Structure 1
Amino acid sequence: MPHASVPVARRAVLGAGLALPLAACAPREPERPAAVRAEVTVLVGAIAAEQDLVALYEAARTAGALPAARLDPVLDHHRAHLAALRKLYVPGSGSRAGEGGAVPSPSPATVPSGRSRVLAELRAAEARAARDRLAEVARADPGLAQVLASIGACEAGHAAVLGSPA
């Protein structure tokens, strides 16, 4: 028995073809991969480190062992770094257990007495921060890695500048 051929309008075929990809769309949010969660941890760690550097420079400025004219440009850089990193952070993006999403408060900073000891403390903090940013680059996606590399390079520059006589 021959099949009766039913004419199908070209519009119906095109409409079905266009609607087919939409059928796979789901309104629920997929589980984020571990790499994305690790990214949040890296970002939060960098934010915390910059907060601590800002606090350290503010403590050094308050102590008065070094002229503000020497500290303020570097402090301004760290404030700019912190602002750039905070722009990348979405509150709640790491709110599940183990994602490291909560940004901690800055650690209280104290500086030793004496100009040379304050300089040594700041140089060591800058060198440590530069190394930490470099290590974080390996764990970040390309966009965040660029930001972290730039900040790390700046921190390495700060360490060098602080080592030069003023």
Structure 2
Amino acid sequence: MRPLSRRAVLAGGAATAALSGCSAGGSEPAAPKAPDPEHVLLRELIVDKQRTIGLYSVLVAAGGEKLAPFLARHEEHLAALRERLPRDDAQTGSSPTPSAAPSPTPAPRKVSLTRLRDLERRAAALRPRQLGQASPALAQLIASIGACEALHALALPRSL
């Protein structure tokens, strides 16, 4: 049997690499991984809490000290939600879509107790629908937050 020439060995290696999908320039970039639905839900909840905190902050800063305990509870909810995000997301504040970018400043519309009460009712009503997208531990937190929001809707003062 005659030994293979160097040229034959190199040609065979190149053919094997071509058939196996390898290229001299490195591997193909991996397709982006779909975001985890629970992390998407967490980011949505966080954005919602930031907006709510922004609205409460406007009234507290305008002399509505009665609202400080409500604001503090929403800040606690926000902290608990942030703890559940993966470390990379929590540190960078990354968001899956530009529309979900956190905005703690309130909308330019007038902030009122009626608006806060409606916001709390809508948020509490939304929470049961979000439970199906969550792990048991997150579902428990969401249910707890929803119960708190429902109580806020009833307990908010009628006037400042």
Amino acid at match of 2:84: L
Report what 1:77 is aligned to. Answer: 73
Q: Check 1:107–1:85 CA distance in 2 against 1; reply closer, same or farther (3 A cut).
A: same
Following superposition, the deviation at residue 101 of structure 1 comes to 7.8
TM-score (structure 2 length as normaliser):
0.66
SS at match of 1:138: helix
Report what 1:112 is aligned to. Answer: 110
Q: Check 1:93–1:63 CA distance in 2 against 1; reply closer, same or farther (3 A cut).
A: closer
What CA RMSD, in Å, does the superposition of the two structures yield over aligned residues? 3.1
Q: Which runs of 4+ in 1 moved over 3 A?
A: 91-94, 163-166
1:144 and 2:138 correspond: yes
Q: Deviations over 1:101-143 (max 9, x none)?
A: 8862225314527xxxx11011011111112222211211111
Matches within 5 A, 1:5-154: 37-64=36-63, 67-68=64-65, 70-92=66-88, 100=96, 104-109=101-106, 110=108, 112=110, 118-154=112-148
Amino acid at match of 1:78: H
Runs (5+) with no aligned partner, structure 2: 1-32
Paired positions, count: 124
Following superposition, the deviation at residue 55 of structure 1 comes to 0.6
TM-score (structure 1 length as normaliser):
0.63
Amino acid at match of 1:74: F
Q: Contact conserved, 1:92 with 1:101, CA < 8 A, in 2?
A: no
Amino acid at match of 2:110: P
Following superposition, the deviation at residue 93 of structure 1 comes to 5.5
Runs (5+) with no aligned partner, structure 1: 1-32
Q: Contact conserved, 1:63 with 1:111, CA < 8 A, in 2?
A: no
